[in-house]
Amino acid sequence: MTEIELVFLGTGGGRFATITQKRRTGGIRLMSKSFNMHVDPGPGALVYSLEAGLNPQKITGVLVSHCHPDHCNDAGVLVEAMTRGMTRKRGVLAAAHSVLVGNENCDPCLSKYHQTMPELVVDAKPGVSFNIDGAKIIAAEAKHSDPSAVGFRFEIVDVGDIAYTSDTEYYEGVGRPYKNVRLLLLCAMRPAGSPWKGHMTSEDAVKIVDEVNPEMAVLTHFGMKMIFKGPAGEAKFIQQKTGVPTIAAKDGMRLSIGEKIEVQTHKRKIRGLDSFLRNT
């Protein structure tokens, strides 16, 4: 069976987590034998990739969900890495409309120069689908202060599907594009009881997990209130409410998906969710 690996190069989000680096903001690397993608390369994505031993020149896809710095800051330099220093027309750049063109709230955050070098550039509006080395990816609606923001569903043959919500507030039907994925990655910015328009709380996550019914849910993209409250406790709250195994990602965490979903932190591999929770 094909196996894919996710590396959480950063689990922080929002302005203050970003400027303090209380949690890193490097985004997520998604890899298999056939594809190698970087999702939402915020500040530190390049440096943390190199620190983790992940060569940025091997990526064949850069995906950016919206124009805010904690999601797009290092996108340009990763495009340069993907295109071998802008010497080869190579790879796929898939980004929200705000990132490529701009909108009423955001100027574009990738130059026209950087947009000329990928082999394919996708304006990732909700419902748009594209392929990266055999993986089908579908952009999904998000409701955020950047009105062009999207999430992504990854359909991977022989493994199953993965979803990444990006920043979004809860709305009826938000989970519909992600229904029955194996792994649901939730940008859970705030803990229960601390709502913020355009963002997700743990209570919102409960509703989304119930709607999606994944094999496992993983929380990431934590703001300062969530960091101080304790993401692991919020993950347990969601698991208790939904019955779906739920964990809070840590900086540097690696997760593999094959016949089973296995988690490891740094060099210590932990088999099985129960073991991970006991060590969190």
> Mind listing the domains of the chain with CATH numbers?
4-278 (3.60.15.10)
Q: How far is the C-alpha of 87 from the C-alpha of 85, rounded, in Å?
A: 5
pLDDT in tens, 199-236: 999 999 999 999 999 999 999 999 999 999 999 999 99
In the chain the beta strands, taken as DSSP E runs, fall at: 4-8, 28-31, 36-39, 61-64, 92-95, 120-123, 129-132, 135-141, 150-156, 160-164, 183-187, 216-220, 246-248, 253-257, 261-265, 268-270
Q: Which of 96, 197, 82 has the alpha carbon at shortest distance from 139?
A: 96
pLDDT in tens, 44-98: 999 999 999 999 999 999 999 999 999 999 999 999 999 999 999 999 999 999 9
What's this model's pTM, rounded to 2 decimal places?
Answer: 0.93
Q: How far is the C-alpha of 117 from the C-alpha of 81, rounded, in Å?
A: 11
Number of neighbouring beta carbons within 10 Å of residue 198: 16
pLDDT in tens, 5-57: 999 999 999 999 999 999 999 999 999 999 999 999 999 999 999 999 999 99
The DSSP call for residue 103 is -
For tokens 């010497």, the residue is: 87
**Residue 261 Cα distances to 47, 109, 168, 191, 274, angstroms:** 27, 35, 25, 25, 12
